[in-house]
Chain A
Amino acid sequence: DTEVTQTPKHLVMGMTNKKSLKCEQHMGHRAMYWYKQKAKKPPELMFVYSYEKLSINESVPSRFSPECPNSSLLNLHLHALQPEDSALYLCASSQKDRPGLAGGVLYEQYFGPGTRLTVT
């Protein structure tokens, strides 16, 4: 089973709303990721959690707030978003993040179907 699930599938929110995106995996993966993808563009990394700790924040604005309640769940809390934040938000997981030169092994990332977010 290589399934990553994301809810909701679609979300429309106003600029003053607060909403959350949810991601779940039951593969025992210990690294989880949030990506943002605009139309006709590649996915761009936002955050990485490794063993439930935030390990990478790609200078994402504070209106995006990630949370990893446990090893299977990843949330992205949204507040005061702008219309330009409208995009497909993808969650991914991998067995573990890259251990570095000593390990030399990359664990493939498996993606969920995404949440299509529209900010009005």
Chain B
Amino acid sequence: DQQVKQNSPSLSVQEGRISILNCDYTNSMFDYFLWYKKYPAEGPTFLISISSIKDKNEDGRFTVFLNKSAKHLSLHIVPSQPGDSAVYFCAASAPNQGGKLIFGQGTELSVKP
């Protein structure tokens, strides 16, 4: 049972435009969400996170939106740059789970010049 789902395995965007990556979850106990970026042959790099008490968190070009009623979050990258091309994972955490993160399957973003 996949508790965190990223239904789009890939996304292609033109440089300068907005990239929107989506993530859905099923476990209502999740109350903290993170986005990681991963280049081939490297470990995931933390990007941005959001607590369930918020519906938006912004850091530079990256904004994460959380819709708790829909159990949906999205990562917006504006403007997209070729260096953003990577696999993006969303991850979720629940209380009393010892820091365990549940990851989605990932979305491969390609930003074309």
A106 to B98, CA, bound (A): 10
Q: Closest A-chain residue to B90, C-beta based?
A: A42
A77 to B101, CA, bound (A): 23
Tally B residues with Cβ within 8 Å of A: 24
- Which interface class (under 10, 10 to 19, 20 to 34, 35 or more) fits A? 20 to 34
Chain B residues closer than 8 Å to A94, beta-carbon distance:
99
* B39, chain A: closest CB distance, angstroms: 10
B100 touches A108 (CB 8 A): no
A11 is an interface residue with CB less than 8 A from chain B = no
Interface hits, A71-108 → B, CB 8 Å: 90, 92, 94, 96-98, 100-101, 104, 106-108
Chain B residues closer than 8 Å to A4, beta-carbon distance:
43
B44 touches A50 (CB 8 A): no
Chain A residues closer than 8 Å to B89, beta-carbon distance:
42-43
Interface hits, B88-103 → A, CB 8 Å: 89, 93, 95-101, 103
Q: Which of A56, A106, A113 contacts B43 (CB 8 A)?
A: A113
Chain A residues closer than 8 Å to B85, beta-carbon distance:
none
Q: Which of A31, A44, A101, A111 contacts B99 (CB 8 A)?
A: A31
A42 to B42, CA, bound (A): 13
Known: A90-B43, A108-B34. A48 touches B98 (CB 8 A): yes
Q: Which of B96, B100, B103, B106 contacts A48 (CB 8 A)?
A: B100
B19 is an interface residue with CB less than 8 A from chain A = no
15 A–B contacts, CB within 8 A, in A order: A42-B89, A42-B103, A43-B89, A50-B98, A56-B98, A56-B99, A56-B100, A97-B99, A98-B93, A101-B96, A104-B95, A106-B34, A106-B51, A109-B46, A113-B42
